[in-house]
Amino acid sequence: MAAVAAVLALAAVALLRPADASALTGKQPIVVVLCKFKDKTDEPQSASYYQNMFSETGVNSGGVFDYWRDVSYSQLDLTGTIVKGWYELTQTRAEWNALTRNQKIDTCATQADADVDFTKFAGVVVLTNQVNLQEDLFGGCCGFLINGTVYNIGAMDSEWDQQYNGILHESGHLFRFNHSRTLSQQTNQDDYGDQWDVMSCLGCFGTTTTFGRNTTTGAGPGVNVVQMDTAGWVAANRKLTDFSTSSCNQRTVQLAALNHPEASGYLDAQIPASIFIQKIGTSTTTDHYSLELREKSGWDAGIPQHAVLVHLHGQDNYSYLVDQSGLAGTYYTANFSNDMAAGDAYVDAPRKAYVAVNSISGAAHQATLTIGACKIDTATSGVGPASGDFGDTVTLTADLKVNGSNAPIPAQTVALTLGTQSCNARTDTAGHGTCQITLNQHSGSYTLTASFATVPVYNSSNASAGFTINKEDTQLAYTGATTSDYHDAFTASARLTEPDGPVAGKTVTFELGTGDTCSATTNGSGDASCSIVPTQAAGASTIKASFAGDDDYKLSNASKAFTITREQTTTAYTGPTVVLQGASGVTLKGRLLEDGVTPIAGRTLTLKVGSQSCTGTTASDGVATCKVTFTGALGSASLSAAFAGDAFYLPSSDTAKTATVFSFPSRGAFVLGDRTVATATAATTVTWWADTWAARNALSGGTAPSSFKGFAGTVPLPTSTPPAACGGRWTTGPGNSPPPTSGVPSYMGV
């Protein structure tokens, strides 16, 4: 490719150019002459192949005929083109390569002089059978010597298999097209560098196909709009030429793609710009910028993307692609290139040229541009939404458009601010920007503001709208116990949530029935729990959980059926188990406990010995007492304590104990030594009457008289159970004991 580019660079030196550089229009047939060499006589393609390539016989096959018809909007017509040859030259390839360019045109074209009237054609195309880029590649106009006669026509030379857009390029010279140029200086030459224009090929977008248009990559590219306008192919009503930079104004316009003239809009939008350009061998001054839309389709299928291009029109009738920032203006593009997509801009402030690409539609084959003589005014609108719930993530929106127009402004940043929160929205191709915040401010009325700051091509703008932060909905679910015994603590729990998840740090109050309450704070999972001791009667009830709401959250409640069951009780008989018959009575005793531990006061116990019973009310220690005078038989008698239960407590009883009922003799009493009693157990046998009593009983006062047998005639005896006092002092006379009673009770107290 480097070698080919060098050949192209020299093409203009050898051939003449028209002074006005105006291309041809109308019907302009050409002659294609095929030549082979003395030392290479193969004919790689038939004449009909080239007839289809260059003339109407190959219409719609992607040939040279189609190319110039399409890019000229049917204003350049090659109908009538003919192909002659193959002619065998007398020269070898080496001899041919030594010829000058004009000599090559003359040598090959002369072979067809007898078959062609060159005055009836616009140019001659010489094609040889050389391969692998051995043939020179050039073209030009006008005035070529053919067999001794100078014809005012164009000409080009190429080998038959040359890269196709190279052939299109040189045919452009035949039709009086200049090379295209860039504003930057190309290495060692003034021409080329405009990759978007066929007159810079081979260094252009396109393919290496030899013939035909590739539907994927094209075989072009097309011709830039400055070249087209110079050729006279752009109608006056398709050019914007009246934009003035004498005052600050702006205009939004539609561009139609150059390869879709059927679309509505301008093909060329011009902005006045006088820029001096110095090249190596020449200089010029421009008179305007030209803006064009190139669509990636047809002959432009090989370009990178749909793009708006900026060219300058030189007073030398050359086109100059503004290929870099800083040479005239500055590009503001996403990829730092010179092909502008939607959202890109070009600014040449000294020349008062401001260009913004608002949109490009491949479907409509159009682009919307705004051009200005100063920074372009903008309008911000569509600020929303109007409300959101606390804690929710909301999408804030704003639209950015050209002021006074519906043209969107894409790829710009709009700052959206709500109270103390903000986010940055990047506008899309419709100029619509969105960003998200999670509302963390208290409920109430706020102002939502959208602000667009000044950038090199646009002025700032802002808009605002009212915004309400609503309290977030909450849901409370009771998750705790649903039954418990009276007076037994249970755990009440609930989970507090909002649509997006748990709610932490909030107080939940629980109430069982009426009056039994507790409160707790939700944790990170939204759970709260605390303990309640039921103080209400057993039965069906309701447990309620309540969140009262606050500045950020709505209140919520939950409830479940709850059953209070009666508490377990333990009743024990704790009174005397040895009962004195008759006398002043026996005091019975029982204790009522909750869960076997806690005394229960104020409840009635029924206490019973044998068949006789009484009732008593439990005191704070859970003990109840009552008194009966037992008149039943001596011996064993049943004892019991019973609690019948109530609305709060389950019944319980104790029937496991028995009493021993006794009495004293009808007078006096049989006695025991106090020390003997003190050491006796239930299994100890004691002697209360015997002539050996003194030996079998021990007294703290010393040894009893040996004559004492165990009966005291006079002794204080208890009259109640339990006795007020047990034991006492007694005396008797010396000698034998007083005579005892004639009989004793079956169960006797001593």
Q: What gap in Å lies between CA 304 and CA 292, rounded to an integer? A: 15
What's the pTM value of the predicted model, to 2 decimals? 0.74
Instruction: Specify the pLDDT at position 236.
Output: 97
Domains by residue range for the chain, with CATH: 2-177 (no CATH), 236-372 (no CATH), 378-470 (2.60.40.10), 475-565 (2.60.40.10), 569-662 (2.60.40.10), 665-750 (no CATH)
The reported pLDDT for the residue numbered 22 is 57
Residues 6+ apart with CB under 8 A from 263: 256, 257, 364, 365, 366
If DSSP states are collapsed to H, E and C, what string results for 443-511? CEEEEEEEEECCCCCECCEEEEEEEEEECECCEEEECCCCEEECCCCEEEEEEEEECCEECCCCEEEEE
The confidence score (pLDDT) of residue 109 equals 98
Least confident residue range of 450-464, 465-479, 594-608, 672-686: 672-686
pLDDT value at 455 more than 90: yes
pLDDT tens sequence across 277-295: 999 999 999 999 999 999 9
Q: What is the Cα 513 distance to its own chain's centre?
A: 46
Which are the contacts of 13, defined by CB distance < 8 A and separation ≥ 6? none
Residue 518 has pLDDT above 90, yes or no: yes
> What integer pLDDT is reported at residue 36 of this predicted model?
98
DSSP string computed for 677-710: HHH--TT----SS-TTHHHH---TT-PPPTT--S
pLDDT tens column, 168-201? 999 999 999 999 999 999 999 999 999 999 999 8
User: pLDDT class for 204, splitting at 50, 70, 90?
Assistant: confident
Q: Is the pLDDT of residue 513 over 90?
A: yes
Confidence of residue 126 (pLDDT cuts 50, 70, 90): very high
> What pLDDT, on the 0 to 100 scale, is given for residue 470?
97
How much is the pLDDT for 583?
76
The DSSP element (H or E) to which 110 belongs, if any, is: helix 101-110
Average of per-residue pLDDT across 98-104: 97
> Considering only 28-42, 305-319, 598-612, 705-719, which range has the smallest mean pLDDT?
705-719
Given this model, what pLDDT does residue 330 score?
Answer: 97
For 354, the token pair is: 């401001």
Radius of gyration of the chain (CA): 60
pLDDT averaged over the chain?
92
pLDDT for position 722: 81
pLDDT recorded at residue 7: 35
Integer Cα distance of 81 and 68 in angstroms: 13
How does residue 723 score in pLDDT terms, banded at 50, 70 and 90?
A: confident
Where does the pLDDT of residue 743 fall: very low under 50, low under 70, confident under 90, or very high at 90 and above? Answer: confident
Mean pLDDT calculated for residue range 410-418? 98
Terminal Cα-to-Cα distance of the chain (whole angstroms): 142
Predicted confidence at residue 449, as pLDDT, reads 98
Distance CA 245, CA 239 (A): 17
Query: Could you give the CA distance from residue 586 to residue 576 in angstroms, rounded to a whole number?
Result: 8
Does residue 484 contact residue 491 with C-beta atoms inside 8 Å?
no
Query: According to the model, what pLDDT value does residue 728 have?
Result: 65
Q: Which helix (H) or strand (E) holds 145?
A: strand 144-146
pLDDT higher than 50, residue 45: yes
Considering only residues 334 and 90, tell me which one the structure prediction assigns the higher pLDDT.
90
Mean pLDDT of 509-514: 98
Q: Which of 491, 475, 577 lies closest to 534 in space, CA to CA?
A: 491
- Prior bond to 142 cis, omega within 30? yes
Confirm if 650 and 537 have CB atoms less than 8 A apart.
no
The residue with tokens 């295209």 is 180
Q: How would residue 18 be classed by pLDDT, with cut points 50, 70 and 90?
A: very low
* Per-residue pLDDT tens digits for 491-505: 999 999 999 899 999
Two tokens, residue 14 = 């050898």
